[in-house]
Amino acid sequence: MIAYLSGVLRQRHPSRIVLDVHGVGYELQVPVGTYSQLPAVGAAVSLLVHTQVREDAIQLFGFAAEGEKQLFEKLITVNGVGPKLALAILSGLSPEALVTALRQADHARLTAIPGVGKKTAERLVVELRDKLAALAAAPPEATATAPRTPAAEDVVSALINLGYAPPLATKAVQRALQQHPEAGFDALFVLCMKSM
């Protein structure tokens, strides 16, 4: 099993990356939290890996932090939660927020994640609440400040409509605003698309 990869980032997409390790390109699916921490294409990257072996495929899932990988591995033990849904859950909530939602049985917060219905949220809470003791107590969740200008809000909305996860869209707009605080919709949108 592959547990760790270190190489050069060759491709970077919101849900997957390609990592060149000594001339071999490994495709890894990644959650938004890991994606947002990745450097530019061509830079060195080291990721923890979960290897999923099935009859018809071998899939690799990459994580920037051990806690994120542990949560993923706990999520896929829940009946009805496969790797794709586990990634969606980790992309919908930060690891700290997810642990908090599970401990507090916050079904409303869990069902806000695309793909998680009421029954799945209940199963997640029942099956995982007692298994989270090994994870450190969740620190207070750092809330990202939402973009304040109308143009920034419109760009976030446009990115979400294109299929990007809300936290990823918000972070992209925040980065663009830091570089160009006076940018309008068109300029912000172009800057965000270049960083995606």
Name the residue range of residue 29's domain.
4-63
76 and 123 in one domain?
yes
**Could you tell me if 127 and 155 lie in one domain?**
no
Q: Is 157 or 141 the better-scoring residue by pLDDT?
A: 157
45 and 75 both lie in a single domain: no
pLDDT at 90: 92
The answer as to whether 137 is a domain residue is no
| 96 located within any domain | yes
Query: What residue type is assigned to position 177 of the chain?
Result: L
pLDDT band per the 50, 70, 90 thresholds, residue 148: low
Q: What is the CATH number of the domain that holds 12?
A: 2.40.50.140
Kindly state the percentage of the chain with pLDDT values over 90. Answer: 44
Most confident range (mean pLDDT) of 22-31, 94-103, 143-152, 159-168 is 22-31
Number of folded domains that form the chain: 3
Whether the per-residue pLDDT at 124 is higher than 60: the answer is yes
133 band by pLDDT with thresholds 50, 70 and 90: low
Section 142-163 average pLDDT:
67
DSSP code string of the chain: ---EEEEEEEEE-SSEEEEEETTEEEEEE--HHHHTT---TTSEEEEEEEEEE-SS-EEEEEESSHHHHHHHHHHTTSTT--HHHHHHHHHHS-HHHHHHHHHTT-HHHHHTSTT--HHHHHHHHHHHGGGGTTSPPPPPPPPPPPP-SHHHHHHHHHHHHTT--HHHHHHHHHHHHHH-TT--HHHHHHHHHHH-
pLDDT tens per residue, range 61-118:
999 988 899 999 999 999 999 999 999 999 888 888 898 899 899 999 999 998 999 9
Q: What is the CATH number of the domain that holds 90?
A: 1.10.150.20
Both 70 and 122 in one domain: the answer is yes
Q: Are 18 and 26 in contact (CB under 8 A)?
A: yes
